[in-house]
Chains A and B, each alone.
Chain A
Amino acid sequence: MTRQEIFEKTLEIVHECVPETEAQTLTEATVINTDTAIDSMGFTLIICRLEATFDVKIPDRQWQKLYTVGDVVSAIEKRLK
């Protein structure tokens, strides 16, 4: 799976989990906490859905270190390899 494909699937899940983000243009540089309507519970939901979708596990303590959408994509990409 390419990084672009992971990114697109990630966006799809973000929009499903937090519909308020649908009106936004999210890029890999988008800062999750500042630039979006995603709060920490919404973020938890997104990560859980991403883990299930990509069949990967991002350790709980790594969640707090994910800053941008690109960081999330990288975390998935790393574990798919």
Chain B
Amino acid sequence: MRFASFEEMLRYHAVRTPQAPALKVGRGDTVQTVSYAALCALIEERAVALHATGKTCLGVLCDGTLACVIEIFAAVRAGLQLVLLNENVDPAQIAYTDIDLLWGDAELIEALAPALTGGVADGKGKILFFTSGTTAKTKAVVLTEQSLCASAFNGGSLLPLEQRDVLMCMLPLDHVFGFVCALLWGLSCGACVALGRGPRHYFDDCAFFRPTVLSAVPMLLGFLLQKQLLSASLRLVLIGAGDCAPQIPAALRAKGIRVSFGYGLTETSSGVALSLGDDPYAMTVCPDDTVTLAPDGEILIDSPTCMMTGYYKDPKATCAVLKDGILSTGDLGVFDANGLLHVTGRKKEILVLSDGTKIFLPEYERALAAVLRDRDFAVVESGGFPVLVLQGAETEREALTAQLETVMKTLPIGRRLKAMYIVHDPLPRTATGKIKRWALQQKVGRQ
């Protein structure tokens, strides 16, 4: 079913099956269910209160709770601009996106209050996601409830869920993959979404909620498999937002679980293509999307219903990637003989880590250059983590590590350098002076 708004989507199910479970949440040792009818009522009540505040832009510090989900839907219902944030938000992101009201942990809101702004005049209908793994300098993507609903429709039309399905939501809602594929996909299909209880419960959420469907990033799945934490009730796993070692889908299949890979970007409101057959890397393009390849193999996407409006207050950056409605993704791909899309690499200087976060290399390397100064160095990916390759002598390792520590301490653990490779020779460069990352990547791969 295609919906034009969150309200239409939830009301549709609330009218047809009012008592059907929309959400499952943990309350101590018990699972509490919220029906579609009850969810609609809770959202409506909160929307009235939000509207009465007179505020114009709500920043939600997403913690994945029931109250958080209600706040998100209520803000849109109340006509506020909505910005989805993680709890490690940089105050500059709040100022940049014109937030005049925050929801979340009280202590955190107090700390962030000085960054609040006077609001925005034309924010109604805008839902902002920061591109994953970003800092304050990076971009906020403007989506709408229409584009997000269309993305959920796309997913549901290729991988329909049933009312009896329980979709496990263990992903952060400030990430578009989490928001669409671990929440909206389920609600759009009239299924039940189990709201995970946070990182402390990664270990027992599957046993607690007994989901039939799980959306996850490769690192989380690898962990759940290794620790044997997946419940026997699972029938389908959707993997997205990061490169995935083939052992993971193989292990899932060995358990009789169907595996699907998703490819998408924040700019396209998440999914553009999904794998449906035996080969998890061969993906069918979603109904609303048209994918073509540029002469150099870059994936180009035309998605009238799911495409972003643009980057927030950054028309120059928008024009750089979006021309005549067609997005240049920076990803490389090929079509196989069956017309299925395979993503083969990246053209942009972005690393996608195994937990789904992204590193914008020029920005990351600029931060390192502040302490490494004129050293010849580059950052590449190895085993799902960023690693540093630097010209120098092994005897300098300790001093270099100490220099880097000041930068690393400012980064979340998943984005810190995992290793440093010190090489004797200058780093390989092209005729125009650009570092040959692929050559370094190969070198690191052989270590």
- The yes or no verdict on A and B being binding partners is yes
Report the bound CA distance from A48 to B197 in whole Å: 13
Using known A-B contacts A33-B413, A34-B408, A61-B87, determine if residue A45 contacts B220 with beta carbons closer than 8 Å.
Answer: no
Q: Is residue A69 within 8 Å, beta carbon to beta carbon, of the partner chain?
A: no
Please state if B220 and A64 are interface contacts (CB–CB under 8 Å): no
Task: Tell me how far the C-beta of A76 lies from the nearest C-beta in chain B, rounded to whole angstroms.
Answer: 15
Question: Using a Cβ–Cβ cut-off of 8 Å, how many residues does chain A contribute to the interface with B?
Answer: 22
Interface size of B in residues (CB-CB distance below 8 Å): 30
Q: Which of A11-54 contact B (CB under 8 A)?
A: 31-34, 39-45, 47-48, 51
Residue of A31, A39, A51 with highest tally of chain B CB at under 10 A: A39
- Do B199 and A60 touch across chains, with their CB atoms under 8 A apart? yes
Q: Among B203, B401, B420, which residue has its beta carbon within 8 angstroms of that of A45?
A: B203
Q: Are A39 and B219 in contact (CB under 8 A)?
A: yes
Cβ of B202 and Cβ of A67 under 8 Å apart?
Answer: no
Complexed CA–CA distance, A8 and B87 (Å):
31
Whether B372 is near chain A, meaning CB under 8 Å from some CB there, is no
B219 touches A34 (CB 8 A): no
Give the distance to chain A from B155, nearest Cβ to Cβ, in Å: 25
Q: In the complex, which residues of chain A have a beta carbon less than 8 angstroms from the beta carbon of B88?
A: 61, 64
Chain A positions within 8 Å of B105 at CB level? 59, 61
Q: Is the CB of B355 within 8 A of A60?
A: no
Tell me the smallest distance from the CB of A16 to a CB of chain B, in Å: 13
Among residues of B, the one whose C-beta sits closest to the C-beta of A45 is B203
A60 vs B61: C-alpha distance in the bound complex, in angstroms? 12
> Given the known A-B contacts A33-B418, A34-B401, are A64 and B200 also in contact in the complex, defined by CB atoms under 8 Å?
no
Please indicate the chain A residues that have their CB under 8 angstroms from the CB of B227 in the complex: 45
Assuming the contacts A34-B418, A40-B414, asked whether A61 and B199 have C-beta atoms less than 8 A apart, the reply is no
A44 touches B108 (CB 8 A): no
B414–A31 contact, CB under 8 A? Answer: no
Which residues of chain B come closer than 8 Å to A64, judged between CB atoms? 88, 412-413
A31-B405, A40-B219 in contact; A48/B418 too (CB < 8 A)? Answer: no
Complex: A42 Cα to B220 Cα, angstroms? 10
Shortest Cβ gap from B245 to chain A (Å): 13
Chain A residue nearest in CB terms to B221: A41
Q: How far is the CB of B64 from chain A (nearest CB, A)?
A: 10
B198: A residues at CB distance < 8 A = 60
Q: Flag if B200 contacts A41 (CB, 8 Å).
A: no
Q: Please, how many angstroms separate the alpha-carbon atoms of A61 and B109 in the complex?
A: 13
Q: Which residues of B contact A41 (CB under 8 A)?
A: 202, 219-220, 222-223, 355
Q: A33-B418, A34-B401, A64-B88 are in contact. Are A43 and B413 (CB under 8 A)?
A: yes
* Residues of B bordering A, CB below 8 Å: 63, 87-88, 105, 108, 198-200, 202-203, 219-220, 222-223, 227, 355, 384-385, 401, 405, 408-409, 412-414, 416-420
